[in-house]
Chain A
């Protein structure tokens, strides 16, 4: 269809002329989602490992909660975080609203349950003999954890990639807490929404194509990295 061809043409144009605004937007998307996924992985993987190893009451119930949180609507998270960071909200004095930091916070909340939930699933499918063997070889709890994590590394990497995919593609949370401000909080998804609203469909499609390309390259990079072990 002609519009899509125009979109591809515009994508090439923006990329190869090093359009400042476009590259700025790409960089910000990567920064916000990258940092968010970094923190989410830290929290999610540690929690996931701890959770899958320990035995405690109501474990199943907490699992249901985690699974529910995996599907939290980004726009709702955006609204709740906005209410917290708002000047009239409890954390208003931090003056984080309409900044990239607020976007990182919102995306971290969005992605942590996803990484935690998928990490738990990956760890649960590891042969329990592995943990037993490690224990008999004298490993302490911490080392056992690392062992099963290592065994499930492909599943864990898939969890992180899933989380990143969610973050880089969402618009509901970042637009609410970031405000889509040109130059400081405009990311790929909010830019696409804006271009669409203004009727500039070729630019909107172009940015969409670039976003998909970037996701693809990042996935490729992470999997190559994992395969080399």
Chain B
């Protein structure tokens, strides 16, 4: 290879560098771009996939949906990398707002978690008294899989242990998975263990015959209420957020047509809708 060819290659590559860099420079936040950070359980239900295009069309905006665990979703928002969050963990949301990162908690929909476990139910859990339920699991040392990842589901699970005044951490039967909901369910199936889950993921995996050892044991009840809210990031604390579009998205999610859409979403695939929109929630659910 001669010097000539090498120099040509060098100049060519510098051209490539320049070309790719020309589109990097940005002088102002693109005003019609909205970044939503949300949780995997919301995104994987497919609901946002249906709603976002409607929003984009209505407001002539471009939307980026980042779907991670609740903890990460809120952390991303704290750093100004998202304009609005859609999560389901009141405890973490309240902290988020109290720290000044969020403006207001706008409840948009809810559903219920379920406790699933082995068909023979060795801990004989039933009813809705969670001190009793968690207590039975602990007493019989029945294996329990925890998400262990600061997700909305994990936060709810921890609150159930708290309700029962039990600290399971470190116990041999308490397994902290650090995994997504699907993998956690597969693990529970393998170990014939109890776990907390959202119904949509469970029904999906069960429908594919991947959870032959598991069944829904506790379904519903106040303690298992799962509330989803939209929180715009606070522009007074976080720089460079698109407050205008964040507020528009909040209004969009609370609007009648969207709320009505949420009311029927999932009915076709699962027989029952996956969420209850705010307009149909009763006062005991709006917490």
| Chain A interfacial positions (CB closer than 8 Å to B) | 35, 38-39, 42, 86-89, 92-98, 101, 142-143, 146, 150, 179-182, 184, 194, 196-199, 201
- Report whether A97 and B81 are in contact in the complex, using a CB–CB cutoff of 8 Å: yes
Residues 205-229 of chain B: 1 if any A CB is under 8 Å from the residue's CB, otherwise 0? 1001010000000000000000000
Given contacts A38-B16, A98-B64, A199-B182, A88 and B3 within 8 Å (CB-CB): no
- Report whether A96 and B24 are in contact in the complex, using a CB–CB cutoff of 8 Å: yes
A94: B residues at CB distance < 8 A: 24, 26
- Report whether A88 and B44 are in contact in the complex, using a CB–CB cutoff of 8 Å: no
Cβ distance B128 to chain A, nearest Cβ, rounded Å: 28
Given contacts A181-B65, A199-B204, A87 and B239 within 8 Å (CB-CB): yes
Residues 76-87 of chain B: 1 if any A CB is under 8 Å from the residue's CB, otherwise 0? 001111000000
Is B66 at the interface (CB under 8 A from chain A)?
yes
B180: A residues at CB distance < 8 A: 197
CA distance A89 to B67 in the complex (A): 21
- Residue among B44, B64, B79, B81 making CB contact with A197, cutoff 8 Å: B44
Number of A-B contacts (CB under 8 A): 72
Q: A88-B81, A97-B81 are in contact. List 5 more A-B contacts (CB 8 A).
A: A38-B13, A93-B26, A94-B26, A98-B64, A146-B1
Is B29 at the interface (CB under 8 A from chain A)?
yes
Given contacts A92-B80, A150-B1, A199 and B208 within 8 Å (CB-CB): yes
Cβ distance A211 to chain B, nearest Cβ, rounded Å: 20
- Residue among B13, B44, B49 making CB contact with A42, cutoff 8 Å: B13
Return the chain A residue nearest B52 by Cβ.
Answer: A182
Which of B4-18 touch A at CB < 8 Å? 6, 13, 16-17
B67: A residues at CB distance < 8 A: 180
CA distance A39 to B205 in the complex (A): 42
Cβ distance A134 to chain B, nearest Cβ, rounded Å: 13
Q: Which 7 A-B pairs have the closest CB atoms?
A: A87-B80, A179-B66, A88-B79, A95-B26, A86-B79, A197-B180, A199-B205
